[in-house]
Amino acid sequence: MNADQAKKDDRDNNFVVRWAVAAVIVVAIGAVGYNYLARTGSPDTAPTSTPVQVAPSSSPPGTPSK
């Protein structure tokens, strides 16, 4: 392998490493942002809670249920 080819290979390797580091940073920031939004939520996406009504029992109060 000649010196020019080795120099070009080193440049290519550095280029790939820089892109990989940048990709990892972008994915990490995205994951942190997603987790933050998933935990806190936003008012637009918050599920609305509906009150739950309990049906009245057919037996008078104080009588044991079967």
Instruction: Give the pLDDT confidence of 1-36 residue by residue, as tens digits.
Output: 788 888 899 999 999 999 999 999 999 999 999 999
Q: Who has greater pLDDT, 33 or 42?
A: 33
Place of tokens 């933050």: 36
- The pTM score is 0.54
In this model, does residue 45 exceed pLDDT 60?
no
Structure tokens at 42: 């936003």
Are the C-beta atoms of 59 and 65 separated by less than 8 Å? yes
Contacts of 57 (CB under 8 A, 6+ apart): 65
Contacts of 65 (CB under 8 A, 6+ apart): 57, 59
